Amino acid sequence: MANEVTSVAEVKRALEARGLDPAELTPIGTRPPLGAYIAQLWQRRGFIWMDSRHRAATQNSKNRLGNVWLLLRPLVDSVFYFIIFGLILGGRGDVENYAAFVVVGILTYRSTASAIAQGTSAMQSGKSMVRAFNFPRAAIPLASEVRDIMISVLSVIVMCLVIWAVPPHAPPTATWVFIPFIFVLHSLLNLGIRFWVARIGFLVPDMSQVMSVISRFLMYGSGVIFPIERFVTDPTALAIVEANPLYQIINIYRSLLIDGVFPPLNSWLLVVCTTLGILVTGFIFFWRGEASYGREQN
Protein backbone atom coordinates (compact mmCIF):
# COMPACT_ATOMS: atom_id res chain seq x y z
CA MET A 1 0.00 0.00 0.00
CA ALA A 2 2.88 2.37 0.83
CA ASN A 3 4.39 1.77 -2.60
CA GLU A 4 1.03 2.54 -4.28
CA VAL A 5 0.68 5.77 -2.32
CA THR A 6 4.23 6.77 -3.23
CA SER A 7 3.68 6.04 -6.93
CA VAL A 8 0.46 8.04 -6.99
CA ALA A 9 2.21 10.96 -5.31
CA GLU A 10 5.03 10.75 -7.84
CA VAL A 11 2.59 10.76 -10.74
CA LYS A 12 0.84 13.81 -9.34
CA ARG A 13 4.12 15.67 -8.91
CA ALA A 14 5.18 14.75 -12.46
CA LEU A 15 1.88 16.05 -13.86
CA GLU A 16 2.10 19.26 -11.84
CA ALA A 17 5.66 19.79 -13.09
CA ARG A 18 4.25 19.74 -16.65
CA GLY A 19 1.57 22.26 -15.77
CA LEU A 20 -1.26 19.69 -15.70
CA ASP A 21 -3.96 19.43 -13.05
CA PRO A 22 -4.15 15.91 -11.54
CA ALA A 23 -7.67 16.68 -10.28
CA GLU A 24 -8.91 16.51 -13.87
CA LEU A 25 -7.86 12.86 -14.22
CA THR A 26 -10.60 10.25 -14.04
CA PRO A 27 -10.19 6.49 -13.51
CA ILE A 28 -10.57 4.24 -16.56
CA GLY A 29 -13.60 1.96 -16.58
CA THR A 30 -15.86 4.14 -14.45
CA ARG A 31 -19.05 6.03 -15.20
CA PRO A 32 -18.65 9.81 -14.86
CA PRO A 33 -21.57 12.00 -13.76
CA LEU A 34 -24.09 12.66 -16.51
CA GLY A 35 -23.17 16.35 -16.88
CA ALA A 36 -19.46 15.58 -17.09
CA TYR A 37 -20.20 12.79 -19.57
CA ILE A 38 -22.05 15.17 -21.90
CA ALA A 39 -19.19 17.68 -21.59
CA GLN A 40 -16.69 14.98 -22.57
CA LEU A 41 -18.75 14.15 -25.64
CA TRP A 42 -18.77 17.81 -26.66
CA GLN A 43 -15.00 18.02 -26.23
CA ARG A 44 -14.62 15.13 -28.68
CA ARG A 45 -16.95 16.56 -31.32
CA GLY A 46 -14.02 17.00 -33.70
CA PHE A 47 -13.13 13.31 -33.52
CA ILE A 48 -16.78 12.30 -33.97
CA TRP A 49 -17.10 14.51 -37.04
CA MET A 50 -13.87 13.33 -38.68
CA ASP A 51 -14.58 9.67 -37.98
CA SER A 52 -18.08 10.03 -39.44
CA ARG A 53 -16.80 11.72 -42.59
CA HIS A 54 -14.12 9.10 -43.14
CA ARG A 55 -16.49 6.15 -42.70
CA ALA A 56 -19.13 7.73 -44.93
CA ALA A 57 -16.57 8.28 -47.69
CA THR A 58 -15.11 4.76 -47.52
CA GLN A 59 -18.20 2.71 -46.69
CA ASN A 60 -18.43 1.13 -50.16
CA SER A 61 -14.87 1.69 -51.36
CA LYS A 62 -14.47 -1.99 -52.30
CA ASN A 63 -17.38 -1.89 -54.76
CA ARG A 64 -16.94 -0.75 -58.33
CA LEU A 65 -19.72 1.82 -58.04
CA GLY A 66 -18.57 2.89 -54.58
CA ASN A 67 -21.01 5.02 -52.61
CA VAL A 68 -23.41 5.14 -55.55
CA TRP A 69 -24.87 1.99 -53.98
CA LEU A 70 -25.99 4.06 -51.00
CA LEU A 71 -28.61 5.60 -53.27
CA LEU A 72 -28.96 2.90 -55.92
CA ARG A 73 -29.92 0.11 -53.50
CA PRO A 74 -32.99 1.82 -51.97
CA LEU A 75 -34.14 2.89 -55.44
CA VAL A 76 -33.88 -0.71 -56.67
CA ASP A 77 -35.83 -1.81 -53.58
CA SER A 78 -38.48 0.80 -54.37
CA VAL A 79 -38.90 -0.55 -57.90
CA PHE A 80 -39.15 -4.10 -56.55
CA TYR A 81 -41.83 -3.27 -53.98
CA PHE A 82 -43.72 -1.13 -56.50
CA ILE A 83 -43.96 -4.09 -58.89
CA ILE A 84 -44.81 -6.70 -56.22
CA PHE A 85 -47.23 -4.75 -54.03
CA GLY A 86 -48.50 -2.15 -56.46
CA LEU A 87 -48.88 -4.06 -59.71
CA ILE A 88 -49.06 -7.75 -58.81
CA LEU A 89 -50.77 -7.82 -55.40
CA GLY A 90 -52.80 -4.64 -55.86
CA GLY A 91 -51.87 -3.26 -52.46
CA ARG A 92 -51.84 0.37 -53.53
CA GLY A 93 -55.46 0.91 -52.56
CA ASP A 94 -56.70 4.38 -53.53
CA VAL A 95 -53.20 5.91 -53.51
CA GLU A 96 -52.92 7.92 -56.73
CA ASN A 97 -49.17 8.47 -56.83
CA TYR A 98 -48.09 5.05 -55.61
CA ALA A 99 -44.59 5.36 -57.10
CA ALA A 100 -43.85 8.40 -54.94
CA PHE A 101 -45.59 6.70 -52.00
CA VAL A 102 -43.17 3.75 -52.14
CA VAL A 103 -40.04 5.83 -52.82
CA VAL A 104 -40.68 8.08 -49.81
CA GLY A 105 -41.51 5.11 -47.60
CA ILE A 106 -38.45 3.04 -48.53
CA LEU A 107 -35.89 5.86 -48.38
CA THR A 108 -37.26 7.10 -45.05
CA TYR A 109 -37.45 3.65 -43.48
CA ARG A 110 -33.92 2.61 -44.48
CA SER A 111 -32.24 5.11 -42.17
CA THR A 112 -34.15 3.73 -39.18
CA ALA A 113 -33.43 0.15 -40.27
CA SER A 114 -29.74 1.11 -40.47
CA ALA A 115 -29.89 2.56 -36.95
CA ILE A 116 -31.30 -0.71 -35.61
CA ALA A 117 -28.87 -2.99 -37.47
CA GLN A 118 -25.69 -0.98 -36.93
CA GLY A 119 -26.58 0.12 -33.43
CA THR A 120 -27.08 -3.44 -32.19
CA SER A 121 -23.51 -4.42 -33.10
CA ALA A 122 -21.89 -1.03 -32.45
CA MET A 123 -20.19 -1.86 -29.14
CA GLN A 124 -19.08 -5.30 -30.27
CA SER A 125 -17.59 -3.85 -33.46
CA GLY A 126 -15.79 -1.08 -31.55
CA LYS A 127 -14.53 -3.16 -28.61
CA SER A 128 -10.86 -2.90 -29.68
CA MET A 129 -11.06 0.89 -29.61
CA VAL A 130 -13.01 0.81 -26.34
CA ARG A 131 -10.26 -1.20 -24.68
CA ALA A 132 -7.43 0.90 -26.12
CA PHE A 133 -8.66 4.44 -25.42
CA ASN A 134 -10.45 6.27 -22.64
CA PHE A 135 -13.33 8.26 -24.12
CA PRO A 136 -17.12 8.50 -23.64
CA ARG A 137 -18.48 5.36 -25.29
CA ALA A 138 -21.56 7.21 -26.52
CA ALA A 139 -19.26 8.66 -29.17
CA ILE A 140 -19.49 5.33 -31.04
CA PRO A 141 -23.27 5.29 -31.74
CA LEU A 142 -23.21 9.10 -32.09
CA ALA A 143 -20.51 8.99 -34.78
CA SER A 144 -22.41 6.23 -36.56
CA GLU A 145 -25.57 8.34 -36.62
CA VAL A 146 -23.69 11.43 -37.86
CA ARG A 147 -22.35 9.30 -40.71
CA ASP A 148 -25.87 8.13 -41.60
CA ILE A 149 -27.12 11.72 -41.48
CA MET A 150 -24.56 12.65 -44.15
CA ILE A 151 -25.84 9.79 -46.29
CA SER A 152 -29.50 10.58 -45.54
CA VAL A 153 -29.12 14.18 -46.71
CA LEU A 154 -28.21 12.85 -50.16
CA SER A 155 -31.06 10.33 -49.95
CA VAL A 156 -33.61 13.07 -49.27
CA ILE A 157 -32.32 15.11 -52.21
CA VAL A 158 -32.53 12.08 -54.51
CA MET A 159 -35.98 11.25 -53.11
CA CYS A 160 -37.25 14.71 -53.99
CA LEU A 161 -35.81 14.53 -57.50
CA VAL A 162 -37.24 11.05 -58.15
CA ILE A 163 -40.80 11.80 -57.06
CA TRP A 164 -40.67 15.00 -59.13
CA ALA A 165 -39.41 13.19 -62.23
CA VAL A 166 -41.44 9.95 -62.15
CA PRO A 167 -45.07 10.12 -63.36
CA PRO A 168 -47.56 11.14 -62.15
CA HIS A 169 -45.01 13.57 -60.66
CA ALA A 170 -44.91 15.37 -57.31
CA PRO A 171 -43.49 18.82 -58.10
CA PRO A 172 -42.12 21.09 -55.35
CA THR A 173 -44.65 23.00 -53.25
CA ALA A 174 -44.40 25.50 -50.41
CA THR A 175 -44.63 22.64 -47.88
CA TRP A 176 -41.21 21.34 -48.96
CA VAL A 177 -39.57 24.02 -46.79
CA PHE A 178 -40.63 22.02 -43.72
CA ILE A 179 -38.62 18.95 -44.77
CA PRO A 180 -35.54 19.95 -42.70
CA PHE A 181 -37.66 19.99 -39.52
CA ILE A 182 -38.96 16.44 -39.94
CA PHE A 183 -35.50 15.34 -41.08
CA VAL A 184 -33.98 16.58 -37.81
CA LEU A 185 -36.68 14.86 -35.75
CA HIS A 186 -36.18 11.62 -37.69
CA SER A 187 -32.40 11.77 -37.12
CA LEU A 188 -32.88 12.33 -33.38
CA LEU A 189 -35.27 9.37 -33.24
CA ASN A 190 -32.68 7.18 -34.98
CA LEU A 191 -30.01 8.36 -32.53
CA GLY A 192 -32.20 7.44 -29.57
CA ILE A 193 -32.79 4.01 -31.10
CA ARG A 194 -29.03 3.55 -31.54
CA PHE A 195 -28.40 4.26 -27.86
CA TRP A 196 -31.03 1.73 -26.80
CA VAL A 197 -30.00 -1.11 -29.10
CA ALA A 198 -26.25 -0.47 -28.63
CA ARG A 199 -26.41 -1.39 -24.96
CA ILE A 200 -28.95 -4.16 -25.52
CA GLY A 201 -26.75 -5.64 -28.24
CA PHE A 202 -23.73 -5.46 -25.94
CA LEU A 203 -25.56 -7.21 -23.08
CA VAL A 204 -27.10 -9.86 -25.36
CA PRO A 205 -25.04 -10.33 -28.57
CA ASP A 206 -27.66 -12.70 -30.02
CA MET A 207 -30.10 -9.76 -30.16
CA SER A 208 -28.66 -8.90 -33.58
CA GLN A 209 -30.64 -11.84 -34.95
CA VAL A 210 -33.82 -10.76 -33.17
CA MET A 211 -33.43 -7.13 -34.24
CA SER A 212 -33.53 -8.11 -37.91
CA VAL A 213 -36.98 -9.59 -37.32
CA ILE A 214 -38.08 -6.51 -35.37
CA SER A 215 -36.83 -4.29 -38.19
CA ARG A 216 -38.86 -6.23 -40.75
CA PHE A 217 -41.94 -6.08 -38.52
CA LEU A 218 -41.43 -2.33 -38.18
CA MET A 219 -41.33 -2.03 -41.95
CA TYR A 220 -44.71 -3.67 -42.47
CA GLY A 221 -46.18 -1.97 -39.40
CA SER A 222 -45.23 1.55 -40.47
CA GLY A 223 -46.98 1.74 -43.82
CA VAL A 224 -43.71 1.78 -45.77
CA ILE A 225 -44.96 0.02 -48.91
CA PHE A 226 -48.74 0.02 -48.57
CA PRO A 227 -51.42 2.13 -46.86
CA ILE A 228 -52.05 0.69 -43.39
CA GLU A 229 -55.72 1.69 -43.46
CA ARG A 230 -56.31 -0.74 -46.32
CA PHE A 231 -55.48 -3.78 -44.18
CA VAL A 232 -55.98 -2.62 -40.56
CA THR A 233 -59.59 -1.79 -39.76
CA ASP A 234 -59.77 -2.54 -36.03
CA PRO A 235 -59.77 0.82 -34.17
CA THR A 236 -57.51 -0.44 -31.36
CA ALA A 237 -54.95 -1.94 -33.74
CA LEU A 238 -55.01 1.21 -35.86
CA ALA A 239 -54.44 3.38 -32.77
CA ILE A 240 -51.38 1.27 -31.89
CA VAL A 241 -50.01 1.71 -35.40
CA GLU A 242 -50.61 5.45 -35.31
CA ALA A 243 -48.69 5.71 -32.01
CA ASN A 244 -45.60 4.46 -33.85
CA PRO A 245 -43.38 7.55 -34.38
CA LEU A 246 -41.86 6.11 -37.58
CA TYR A 247 -45.34 5.70 -39.05
CA GLN A 248 -46.08 9.35 -38.28
CA ILE A 249 -42.72 10.50 -39.66
CA ILE A 250 -43.29 8.69 -42.96
CA ASN A 251 -46.80 10.16 -43.19
CA ILE A 252 -45.46 13.66 -42.53
CA TYR A 253 -42.87 13.25 -45.28
CA ARG A 254 -45.59 12.09 -47.70
CA SER A 255 -47.94 14.92 -46.76
CA LEU A 256 -45.24 17.54 -47.28
CA LEU A 257 -43.66 16.08 -50.43
CA ILE A 258 -46.51 14.39 -52.29
CA ASP A 259 -49.77 15.94 -51.11
CA GLY A 260 -48.45 19.46 -50.58
CA VAL A 261 -50.35 19.85 -47.31
CA PHE A 262 -49.16 20.59 -43.78
CA PRO A 263 -49.75 17.56 -41.50
CA PRO A 264 -52.03 17.88 -38.44
CA LEU A 265 -50.44 19.44 -35.36
CA ASN A 266 -51.13 16.33 -33.28
CA SER A 267 -48.90 14.30 -35.63
CA TRP A 268 -46.01 16.72 -35.05
CA LEU A 269 -46.60 16.70 -31.28
CA LEU A 270 -46.61 12.91 -31.17
CA VAL A 271 -43.34 12.75 -33.11
CA VAL A 272 -41.67 15.42 -30.97
CA CYS A 273 -42.73 13.84 -27.66
CA THR A 274 -41.87 10.24 -28.59
CA THR A 275 -38.60 11.25 -30.21
CA LEU A 276 -37.42 13.21 -27.18
CA GLY A 277 -38.57 10.41 -24.88
CA ILE A 278 -36.68 7.72 -26.81
CA LEU A 279 -33.59 9.93 -27.18
CA VAL A 280 -33.32 10.99 -23.52
CA THR A 281 -34.13 7.58 -22.02
CA GLY A 282 -31.89 5.86 -24.58
CA PHE A 283 -28.95 8.12 -23.77
CA ILE A 284 -29.37 7.60 -20.01
CA PHE A 285 -29.78 3.85 -20.51
CA PHE A 286 -26.55 3.75 -22.53
CA TRP A 287 -24.69 5.99 -20.06
CA ARG A 288 -25.59 3.74 -17.14
CA GLY A 289 -23.64 0.92 -18.79
CA GLU A 290 -20.56 3.07 -19.47
CA ALA A 291 -18.28 1.19 -17.07
CA SER A 292 -19.10 -2.21 -18.58
CA TYR A 293 -18.37 -1.70 -22.29
CA GLY A 294 -14.70 -2.66 -22.07
CA ARG A 295 -15.41 -5.98 -20.38
CA GLU A 296 -15.87 -9.39 -21.92
CA GLN A 297 -19.43 -10.69 -21.98
CA ASN A 298 -20.15 -14.32 -21.16
Q: Give the pLDDT confidence of 91-119 residue by residue, as tens digits.
A: 566 778 888 898 899 889 989 999 999 88
Q: How far apart are CA 9 and CA 35, in angstroms?
A: 28
Q: How far apart are CA 69 and CA 57, in angstroms?
A: 12
Q: How far apart are CA 288 and CA 298, in angstroms?
A: 19
Residue 220, pLDDT > 90, answer no
Q: If you average pLDDT over every residue of the chain, what do you get? A: 82
Q: How far out from the chain centre does Cα 47 lie? A: 19
**Confidence (pLDDT) at 4:** 41
Q: How far apart are CA 32 and CA 34, in angstroms?
A: 6
pLDDT digits (tens, 9 = 90+) for 136-166: 889 999 998 998 898 888 888 888 988 898 8
> What's the predicted TM-score (pTM) here?
0.82
Of 81-90, 113-122, 128-137, 215-224, the one with minimum mean pLDDT is 81-90
Q: How far apart are CA 104 and CA 251, in angstroms?
A: 9
Contact 200, 289 (CB under 8 A): no
* Helix/strand/coil for 65: coil
For the chain, the maximum distance between any two Cα atoms, rounded to a whole number of angstroms, is 81
Which of the four pLDDT bands, split at 50, 70 and 90, describes residue 18?
A: low
How far CA 61 is from CA of 54, 67, 117, 182, in Å, comes to 11, 7, 20, 30
Residue 84, pLDDT > 90, answer no
